[in-house]
Copies of this chain bind each other. A is one copy, B any other.
Amino acid sequence: MTAHPLTPLLAPSSVAIFGASNDPTRISGRSLRYYREAGYQGGLYPINPTRDTVQGLRAYPDLASVEGPVDCAVIAVPANLAIESMEACVKKGVRGIVMFTAGFAEIGAEGRAMQERITQIARDNDIRLCGPNCLGLFNMRTGHTATFSSFLEEGPTPSGPLGMVTQSGAFGTHLLALTARRGIAVGMWMSTGNEADVAVADGISFLADDPETVAIACYIEAIKDGKLFAEAVARARANGKPVIAMKVGASVIGTAAAASHTASLAGSDAVYDAAFRQLGVERAKTPEDLVEIAYACTRGRLPKSRRLAVVTMSGGAGVLMADAAEEEGLELAPLAEESQKEVLNWVPFAAPRNPVDVTAQALNDPTILDKGFELLLGKENFPSMVGFFTTWASSPQMAEPLFKSVSEAAARYPDRYFALSAIASPEMQRRYEACGVGLFEDPWRAVSSIGAAVRCAERLATPPFPIPPVPQNLPPVPPGRIAEHEAKRILADAGVPILDERLATNAGQAAAAAAGMGDRLVLKIVSADIPHKTEMGGVMLNVPAAEAGKAYDELVGRVQARAPRAQLDGVLISPMITDGVETILGVQNDPVFGPVVMFGLGGIFVEVLRDVTFRVAPFGVEEARQMIGELRGAAMLEGARGQPPCDIDALATALSKLSVFVAAQKGRFTSIDINPLRVRPKGQGVVALDALILTPSEVSGDDEVAP
Closest Cβ of chain B: how far from A412's Cβ, in Å?
27
Q: Are B173 and A391 in contact (CB under 8 A)?
A: yes
Assess the A150–B395 pair: CB atoms within 8 A: yes
Q: A604-B633, A604-B641, A608-B636 are in contact. Are A174 and B317 (CB under 8 A)?
A: yes
CA distance in complex: A397, B151 (Å) = 14
Measured between beta carbons, the chain B residues less than 8 angstroms from A253 are: 322, 325-326, 332, 354-355
Could you list which residues of chain A lie within 8 angstroms of chain B, going by C-beta atoms? Answer: 25, 106-107, 150-151, 153, 166-168, 170-174, 177-178, 181, 219, 221, 248-254, 257-258, 260-262, 285-288, 313-320, 322-327, 332, 349, 351, 353-355, 357, 360, 390-391, 395, 397, 423, 441-445, 603-605, 607-609, 632-633, 635-636, 640-641
26 contacts between A and B (CB under 8 A): A25-B397, A150-B395, A168-B314, A170-B313, A170-B314, A174-B314, A174-B390, A174-B423, A177-B390, A219-B316, A248-B320, A248-B323, A251-B323, A251-B325, A253-B325, A253-B326, A254-B322, A257-B322, A260-B315, A261-B315, A286-B324, A603-B641, A604-B605, A608-B635, A608-B636, A608-B641
Q: In whole angstroms, how far apart are the Cα atoms of A252 and B260 in the complex?
A: 46
Which residues in B have their C-beta under 8 angstroms from that of A609? 609, 632-633
Q: Are A319 and B252 in contact (CB under 8 A)?
A: no
Complex: how many Å from CA A632 to CA B324? 24
Closest Cβ neighbor of A390 among chain B residues: B174
Chain B residues whose C-beta falls within 8 Å of the C-beta of A640 in the assembled complex: 604, 607-608
Name the distance in Å between A244's Cβ and chain B's nearest Cβ.
15
Which B residues are CB-close (under 8 A) to A219?
A: 316
Counted per complex, copies of this chain come to 2
The answer to whether A171 touches B320 (Cβ under 8 A) is yes
Q: In the bound complex, do residue B150 and residue A221 qualify as a contact, i.e. CB atoms below 8 Å apart?
A: no
> By the criterion CB–CB under 8 Å, are B607 and A316 in contact?
no
Contact B443 A257 (CB under 8 A): no
Alpha-carbon distance A100/B2, docked complex (angstroms):
70
Q: Do most interface residues of chain A lie in helix, strand or loop, or is the interface mixed?
A: helix
In the complex, are the beta carbons of A444 and B287 less than 8 A apart?
Answer: yes
Complex Cα–Cα for A45 and B426 (A): 40
Whose C-beta in chain B lies nearest to the C-beta of A167? B316
Q: Decide: B173 and A287 in contact? CB cutoff 8 A.
A: no
Residue of chain B at shortest CB distance from A394: B177
Given contact pairs A250-B323, A257-B315, a sample of 6 additional A-B residue pairs in the complex whose CB atoms are under 8 Å apart: A171-B314, A174-B391, A177-B390, A257-B355, A261-B315, A604-B641
| Complex interface: chain B residues within 8 A of A445 (CB) | 286, 288
Contacts of A285 in B (CB 8 A): 444
Measured CA separation A171–B359 after assembly (Å): 11
Q: What is the minimal beta-carbon distance from A373 to any residue of chain B, in angstroms?
A: 19
Is B287 touching A320 in the complex (CB atoms < 8 A)? yes
Contact B168 A315 (CB under 8 A): yes
Interface pair A178/B442, CB less than 8 Å apart: yes
CB distance from A232 to the nearest CB of B (A): 20
- Write out the residue numbers on chain B whose beta carbons fall within 8 Å of the beta carbon of A250: 323, 326
Q: Is A261 a contact of B319 with CB atoms below 8 Å?
A: yes
- Nearest CB to that of A180 among chain B residues? B423
Chain B residues closer than 8 Å to A177, beta-carbon distance: 390-391, 423
For A360, the chain B residues whose CB sits under 8 A away are: 170
